[in-house]
Amino acid sequence: MAHINQDYLYKKSFELEKTGVKGLLISGGVNESGRVPIDYSILKKIKNDTNLIINLHSGLLKRNDAKKIKESGIDVVSLDFVGSDDTIKNILKMPFKVSDYEDTLRFLIEEEVNVIPHICVGLDLGRIVGEYNAIEILKKYPIKSLTLLVLIKNEFEKTDSINYDIQAIKDFFSYARNSFPDVKLSLGCMRPRIKELEETAVFFDNIVNPTKNMIKLIKNEYSIVVKDVCCSVC
């Protein structure tokens, strides 16, 4: 992970490509409108002048932002999708609503941007609050991929004391799979490595950094393909 400004990003992309890097994950903090403040024209230049895959964590967007992202030609937008107004207010500390996340998704889909919603299970300090609502909202849209994450313990973000309801997480994973039988379902990199969750491997099409036990559980029933890329571009 590199922390660089936008002026340096264009130059750095060439250096990274020469070392064999396949793509870039562009992310960062959001501004007062909830958007990651990146100049989309820089991303367009990188796409035009390199062969790098670009995955953008966009944050919340307006219609015009979605248009500019489409024009940039980037490969995918990873969109954190939250299904609870209370979680947005009390946990994320942002003045937005679930409807703002839905609007962002709709704008991107209508502009024909490849967008992959990400749901963080247990975002509300380990509690499952708006995750099922997020699924119900996503059902209204023709998404092709969905990534599930699980809140990890972090002393700096005051989440080191959360207690995981393992069965509740399993139940949600199962619900997501059943809700989207034809959608590519990924288990993302942000998740605790808890043994009791390993059996959920069978629900997913993509698993980032699977444990040895996960591989053992699925290798007899599925053909495993190893890819050295972000799950959003698998």
For the ranges 32-46, 76-90, 138-152, 199-213, the lowest mean pLDDT is seen at 199-213
- Write the DSSP symbol of residue 207: E
pLDDT digits (tens, 9 = 90+) for 29-63: 999 999 999 999 999 999 999 999 999 999 999 99
Average pLDDT over residues 207-224: 81
pTM greater than 0.85: yes
Higher pLDDT, 74 or 152: 74
Asked if CATH classification 3.20.20.70 holds for the domain at 6-233, the reply, yes or no, is: yes
CA distance 13 to 45: 10
Predicted confidence (pLDDT) per residue in 129-175, tens digit:
999 999 999 999 999 999 999 998 775 556 667 888 999 999 999 99
118 sits in which H/E element? strand 115-121
Question: Mean pLDDT score of the chain, rounded to an integer?
Answer: 91
Is the separation of the CB atoms in 62 and 107 below 8 Å? yes
Read off the pLDDT band of 118 (50, 70, 90): very high
The secondary structure of residue 124, as a DSSP letter, is: B
Given a cut of 60, whether residue 1 has pLDDT beyond it is: no
> Which pLDDT does position 221 carry in this prediction?
76
Hey, where are the domains in the chain? 6-233
